[in-house]
C-alpha cells in the first residue's frame, strides 16, 4: 500500500505557511486539506517533533510554522513523516541459496542507493515557500475592512463543501492563481 503521509504533510505545511503567522486549528486544516482531523493531528505531531511546526493548546491555540518557509525543504518534511521502510523497492533476498551465483542483490542494492540519493537531493532542492502562492496584495481599503472584522479571530474562507469535488477545488485554485498573476502585470 502506498503512503500518502508525505503529500498530506506537504499540503498541511503549505496551508499553514500561506496563512502564517496566524495560529491555525487542526480542524480547519483538516477541512481544507480534505482529510480526517485525527490524521492531521497525527501528522502535525510529527511535524512539531521535527521542529517544522509549533503548536499551542487552548481556545486561541493551533499550529504555525516554527521556521521560515524558505528554510524548510521537502526533504525536511519527508524525513519528518516518512516511514523507515518507505523504500522504492525491497532488496531483501528471498533466494538466499542463489545469491552466491548471481549479482541481482548487489546490482539492485546499488541502484536503490543511487535512486534514494538522487531522490533526497531533489527533495532537498525544493523549498516549502515554492509550494504555495503568495497571499493577495492588500490595499489600505482591505486593511481597514479587515480591522473592522477583526473581532472574528482566525477568519478563513469557508472550506469546500462535501459535494465540491477535488477537481472543482483545484480548478478554482488555478483560476485564482491565474487571476493573481494577471493583476500584477
Q: How many CA atoms lie within 13 A of 100 on its CB side?
A: 1
* Residues 38 and 8: beta-carbon distance below 8 Å: no
Q: Could you tell me if 36 and 49 lie in one domain?
A: yes
A 10 A CB-CB count for 99 gives: 13
pLDDT, tens digit (0-9, with 9 covering 90-100), for 32-89: 988 899 999 999 999 999 999 999 988 778 999 999 999 999 999 999 998 765 556 7
* Residues 47 and 8: beta-carbon distance below 8 Å: no
* Residues 69 and 17: beta-carbon distance below 8 Å: yes
Domain boundary among 132, 148, 171: 132
Q: Could you tell me if 126 and 141 lie in one domain?
A: no
The three cell numbers of residue 66 are 516554527
**Calpha distance 75→179 (Å, rounded):** 31
pLDDT at 167 over 60: no
Backbone angles phi, psi at 127, to 5 degrees: -95, 150
Q: Could you tell me if 98 and 166 lie in one domain?
A: no
pLDDT at 183 over 50: no
- pLDDT, residue 151, reads 45
What total number of domains does the chain contain? Answer: 2
Cα distance between the two ends of the chain = 46
Q: Could you tell me if 156 and 97 lie in one domain?
A: no
Q: Could you tell me if 116 and 141 lie in one domain?
A: no
Q: Could you tell me if 127 and 50 lie in one domain?
A: yes
Cα separations (Å) of 4 from 91, 98, 106, 114? 22, 36, 30, 23
- pLDDT, residue 42, reads 95
Domain span at 118: 5-132
pLDDT at 177 over 60: no
- pLDDT, residue 83, reads 73
Q: Could you tell me if 107 and 78 lie in one domain?
A: yes
pLDDT, tens digit (0-9, with 9 covering 90-100), for 101-154: 778 778 888 888 888 889 889 999 999 999 877 666 655 555 555 555 544 445
- pLDDT, residue 3, reads 79
- pLDDT, residue 60, reads 79
Identify the residue with better confidence: 166 or 51.
51
- pLDDT, residue 123, reads 92
Amino acid at each position: 500500500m502506498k503512503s500518502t503521509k508525505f503529500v498530506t504533510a506537504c499540503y498541511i505545511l503549505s496551508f499553514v505557511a500561506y496563512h502564517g503567522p496566524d495560529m491555525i486549528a487542526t480542524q480547519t486544516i483538516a477541512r481544507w486539506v480534505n482529510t480526517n482531523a485525527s490524521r492531521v493531528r497525527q501528522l502535525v505531531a510529527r511535524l512539531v517533533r521535527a521542529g517544522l511546526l509549533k503548536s499551542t493548546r487552548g481556545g486561541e491555540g493551533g499550529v504555525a510554522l516554527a521556521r521560515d518557509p524558505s528554510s524548510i525543504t521537502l526533504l525536511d518534511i519527508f524525513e519528518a513523516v516518512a516511514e523507515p521502510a518507505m523504500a522504492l523497492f525491497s532488496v531483501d533476498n528471498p533466494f538466499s541459496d542463489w545469491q552466491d551465483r548471481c549479482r541481482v542483490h548487489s546490482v539492485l542494492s546499488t541502484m536503490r542507493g543511487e535512486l534514494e540519493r538522487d531522490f533526497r537531493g531533489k527533495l532537498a532542492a525544493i523549498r516549502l515557500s515554492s509550494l504555495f502562492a503568495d497571499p493577495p496584495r492588500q490595499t489600505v481599503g482591505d486593511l481597514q475592512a479587515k480591522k473592522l472584522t477583526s473581532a472574528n479571530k482566525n477568519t478563513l474562507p469557508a472550506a469546500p463543501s462535501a459535494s465540491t469535488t477535488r477537481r472543482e477545488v483545484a480548478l478554482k485554485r488555478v483560476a485564482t492563481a491565474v487571476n493573481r498573476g494577471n493583476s500584477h502585470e
